[in-house]
Amino acid sequence: MALQLGEIAPDFTVESTEGTLSFHQWLGDSWAVLFSHPADYTPVCTTELGAFAKRKGEFEQRGVKLVGVSVDPLDSHSGWAGDIEKTQGAALNYPLLADEDRVVADLYGMIHPKADPKVTVRTVFIIDADKKVRLTLTYPPSTGRNVDEILRVIDSLQLTDKHKVATPVDWQNGEDVIIVPSLSNDEAKERFPEGWDEKTPYLRVVRQPR
């Protein structure tokens, strides 16, 4: 069964391109983006791994660690890393798990038999500092993931964890947000003394808190 939002991300210990990795210990008090690949030497995933490597600094600024996972062995990962650097212009700079025994794949529900019983699906997990799953996105093999969207979701999650707000459709960091309905107007006045634009009683738009 697939992991649900709010569940503790399962712990595991497997080999990676950066040595043995015990997930919860490695995570510490950071957030993480764990993203799976069906196999090494696949074209779409090659572009993704390169893109994440190029933008690792943007994740680090948000206190987020990157970790990839594939069911292929470690020596295969090493060869693939060379192709990633050669074709994408960025060397692998975060761990890539060698999940040969499908420990991680099974724990995280990455095997979808109706899609393909032999390989993992391409899923993104955003995991917070409390080790809770905050988002899952599952992609078909033909569609590359969007790094900008993953960063946007992290910005939204981290902002809304700190303030009683939600982010509207297509929101980007710095744009107006929505006061959550559970906050009364009196409570909202304390949090947002500059006021807000009340579109309806349940849709109160306010400047993004800093």
Catalytic residue among 21, 45, 49, 127: 45
Q: How close are the terminal C-alpha atoms of the chain, in Å?
A: 39
45 is catalytic: yes
Q: Residues with catalytic annotation?
A: 45
